[in-house]
Amino acid sequence: MNKNYQKSGFTLVEIMIVVAIIALLAAIAIPNLLRAKISANDALAQSTVKTMSTAAETFATASNGNYGTSMTSMTSASPAYINKDYCGTTEAGFTFVCTMSAGSYTFVAIPVTVGTSGTTTYTIRTGGILTPI
């Protein structure tokens, strides 16, 4: 008797080719995704220090030109000038440092790991001018 067997499944070579194609696609896509994440962290840091500056300037306008001496004065107002106190916290790969007095403020966003969580330190001072360092 002559039996004809049908071949089913994939050969080792075919599987290796598919794995190589997937590895090539991953090698192209992963660096792009990491760069997008760093760009998003940078944009969030800039936005956060700008928001804190806007809150401080608005507070000063309502307080006869005196800035708040802490974020608590702006978060506890009714209505609040800013909803969250970012000072001393780490958000999206940046640590936020705040220096506030009745006459001025400085807000700084420092990347936790330069090149991995963010690219630049962002500083905004009294008057609301953002400067990347």
Q: In what order do the strands lie in the sheet with 105-111?
A: 90-91, 94-100, 105-111, 122-125, 129-132
Give the Cα separation of 98 and 113 in Å (integer).
19
Residue 115 lies in a domain: yes
Domain count, the chain: 1
Give the Cα separation of 87 and 43 in Å (integer).
18
- Using CA atoms in the order 79, 80, 82, 86, what is the torsion angle rounded to 10 degrees? -160
Residue 91 lies in a domain: yes
pLDDT at site 18: 94
Residue 5 lies in a domain: no
Residue 83 lies in a domain: yes
58-106 pLDDT tens trace:
999 999 989 989 999 999 988 999 999 999 999 999 999 999 999 999 9
Consecutive H or E run containing 109: strand 105-111
Say what the pTM is.
0.79
pLDDT at site 88: 94
The pair of three-digit structure tokens given for residue 98, joined into one six-digit string = 């705040």
Beta bridge partners of 95: 90, 110
2-36 pLDDT tens trace:
666 677 788 899 999 999 999 999 998 888 888 99
One-letter identity of residue 26: A
Tell me which residue range forms the domain holding 34: 12-132
